[in-house]
């Protein structure tokens, strides 16, 4: 069973409720049909019910079984408005401004549904920039306790199964933080370990990557990764990690045994935390292209509840797959 099939199977067992706020996109409507057919989640669409149903009919999407909520006629709108005013109190947001946001910004409305427990997660981005999706998520849902950094991960699935756990290995952060500091790297490690557990079902072994292994080179960039490891040690995290470590020492047993003898992670890492976005983004694309690996993501992590961002060039399949992934991120 492939990774996506496994994730969908897990999503079916949990059957969470996922909000899709961009109902004006016919790909979202077609993905809704697929999700409902696969029974990987309950779906909430946001917008005018008559328009959504007409659009679905026009594009041949059967969305029977999806819930449709129009913010302008929503029974609990006042509650949502009051909550947003409270959240943005320090920014001086007025009740009138909050009502305008809640009735005209479906991503903010959807995130409030998730925050207040009326839905379990949200998937957006097919019709909006990443910045818009993350802004709503960060302002409304906030970061998880003990985590101050929103980040991302790709689940890399290699065909030969040589690396990670049967070919599954997570790369982070490849999409959000350009130059994370040591504390942010520690946050990224913790969030990615949580994703490895909740989404993929792996017991995480996290390698904090650098161009040095265990002091083989001296440089401020190496110091940053070493300090991130110190922070993880101080936090007494509940997953295995080690660093700083070169990529070959992280994933090849013979090299790991030579460069980092006695390490519980060296040579068998299934989570790779890159020192910056530049190296992470380059790294995942090289593995994707050179090794023909499937790159599932980016999966947004570090939020208090799951929100995931789509590429604006996404396919119907991309949306339905990300709904299943989002469903498995839900912790109850």
Structure tokens at 206: 């996290």
pLDDT one-digit tens code per residue, 100-114: 999 999 999 999 999
Give me the sheet containing 17-20, strands edge to edge: 67-69, 42-46, 17-20, 121-124, 307-309
Q: What is the pLDDT of residue 114?
A: 98
Residue 42 phi/psi, 5-degree rounding, is: -80, 145
Residues 6+ apart with CB under 8 A from 18: 35, 41, 42, 43, 44, 119, 120, 121, 122, 123, 323, 326, 327
Rounded CA-CA distance 299/297 in Å is: 5
Q: Supply the angle between the helices 182-195 and 220-235 in degrees, to the nearest 10.
A: 60
- Report whether 77 contacts 69 (CB < 8 A): no
Q: Tell me the CA distances in angstroms from 230 to 83, 103, 146, 227, 241, one per residue in order.
A: 38, 46, 16, 5, 11
Per-residue confidence at 1, pLDDT binned at 50, 70, 90?
A: low
pLDDT one-digit tens code per residue, 36-94: 999 999 999 999 999 999 999 999 999 999 999 999 999 999 999 999 999 999 999 99
Per-residue confidence at 256, pLDDT binned at 50, 70, 90?
A: very high
* Burial group, residue 276, by CB count within 10 angstroms (0-12, 13-18, 19+): middle
The strand pair at 294-301 and 151-157 is best described as antiparallel
Higher pLDDT, 158 or 61: 61
Q: Supply the angle between the helices 106-115 and 95-104 in degrees, to the nearest 10.
A: 100
Q: Which residues pair with 43 in a beta bridge?
A: 18
pLDDT one-digit tens code per residue, 126-152: 999 888 999 999 999 999 888 899 999
Q: What is the pLDDT of residue 120?
A: 97
Q: Average pLDDT of 187-206?
A: 94
Residue-by-residue DSSP string for 182-205: HHHHHHHHHHHHHHIIIII----E
Q: What is the pLDDT of residue 131?
A: 87
Q: Tell me the CA distances in angstroms from 168 to 160, 199, 227, 259, 284, one per residue in order.
A: 10, 12, 27, 23, 13
């Amino acid at each position: 069973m492939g990774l996506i099939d496994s994730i969908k199977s897990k999503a079916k067992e949990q059957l969470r409720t996922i909000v899709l706020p961009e109902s004006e996109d016919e790909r979202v409507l077609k993905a809704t049909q697929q999700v409902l057919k696969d029974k990987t989640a309950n779906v909430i669409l946001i917008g005018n019910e008559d328009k959504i149903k007409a659009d679905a009919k026009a594009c041949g999407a059967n969305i029977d079984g999806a819930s449709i909520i129009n913010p302008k006629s929503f029974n609990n709108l006042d509650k949502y408005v009051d909550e947003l005013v409270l959240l943005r109190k320090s920014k001086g947001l007025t009740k009138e401004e909050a009502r305008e946001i809640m009735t005209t910004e479906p991503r903010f409305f959807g995130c409030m549904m998730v925050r207040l427990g009326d839905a379990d997660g949200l998937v957006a981005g097919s019709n909006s920039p990443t910045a818009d999706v993350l802004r709503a998520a960060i302002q409304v849902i906030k970061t998880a306790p003990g985590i101050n950094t929103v980040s991302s991960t790709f689940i890399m699935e290699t065909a030969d199964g040589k690396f990670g756990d049967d070919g599954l290995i997570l790369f982070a952060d490849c999409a959000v933080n350009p130059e994370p500091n040591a504390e942010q790297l520690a946050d990224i490690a913790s969030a990615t370990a949580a994703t490895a557990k909740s989404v993929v079902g792996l017991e995480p072994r996290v390698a904090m990557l650098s161009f040095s292994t265990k002091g083989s080179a001296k440089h401020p960039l190496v110091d940053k990764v070493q300090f991130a490891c110190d922070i993880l040690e101080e936090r007494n995290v509940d997953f295995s990690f080690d660093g700083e470590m070169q990529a070959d020492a992280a994933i090849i047993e013979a090299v790991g045994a030579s460069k980092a003898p006695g390490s519980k992670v060296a040579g068998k890492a299934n989570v790779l935390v890159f020192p910056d976005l530049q190296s992470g983004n380059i790294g995942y694309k090289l593995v994707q292209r050179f090794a023909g690996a499937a790159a599932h993501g980016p999966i947004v992590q570090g939020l208090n509840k799951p929100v995931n961002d789509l590429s604006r060039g996404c396919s119907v399949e991309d949306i339905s797959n990300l709904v299943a992934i989002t469903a498995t991120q839900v912790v109850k």
